[in-house]
Amino acid sequence: MKSLLKVLPVIFFLFICTSTNYSQEVYEHGYIVKVGDKAPDFLIREASGKSYMLSELRGSVVMLQFTASWCSVCRKEMPYIESEIWEEGKELGLKVIGIDRDEPLETVKKFKKDIGVTYPLALDPGAEIFSLFALKEAGVTRNVIIDREGYIVKLTRLFRMDEFNEMKNIIFTELEK
């Protein structure tokens, strides 16, 4: 019995260590990546049917906009992304991809049509792509700006005009490089 009492704390400690992911640091707004990190690579499956790896976009400035049809803040932000970022930046080589969180293809297609954006929306079943950047239970809307070498240069959460303008300035500064 005494030896069991000595072993139980060790077993409990090992259980806690194996059930908790200590290697995953959480940053502001539930992000698990930070500015300066290399963006995780993943397969982008656009609602249009086109598929490619994020790493295939190296050489371009990339904006990932994590979104969902049920997100009222996303619906407010997306027209600004369309008119002030996508329309102005696509001729300069900017890639904007909306990553729709865990919704079926038909919902994503309807969402894109309803909002009226022309930049591609991609599917994210199970929020697997989202979970490469933020805690799975963290919310949308959020944007990840990636430079031409694949490094994260800006992260946003929600939609505030001051932060949006700062993000826009970073994007266009990156496009000028």
**pLDDT tens digits for 37-78?**
999 999 999 999 999 999 999 999 999 999 999 999 999 999
Measured distance CA(75)–CA(62) in Å, rounded: 20
- The arithmetic mean of pLDDT across residues 18-28, rounded, is 64
pLDDT at residue 5 is higher than 50: no
Measured distance CA(93)–CA(146) in Å, rounded: 13
Q: What is the pLDDT of residue 7?
A: 42
Q: Return the percentage of the chain with pLDDT > 90, whole number.
A: 85
Measured distance CA(40)–CA(54) in Å, rounded: 8
Measured distance CA(91)–CA(24) in Å, rounded: 37
User: pLDDT-derived band of residue 14, with 50, 70 and 90 as boundaries?
Assistant: very low
Measured distance CA(46)–CA(30) in Å, rounded: 25
pLDDT at residue 20 is higher than 80: no
Provide the CA 107 distance to its chain's centre, in angstroms. 19
**Which three-class secondary structure state does DSSP give residue 91?**
helix
Measured distance CA(144)–CA(98) in Å, rounded: 10
Q: Return the percentage of the chain with pLDDT > 70, whole number.
A: 87
Q: Architecture of 24-176 per CATH?
A: 3-Layer(aba) Sandwich (3.40)
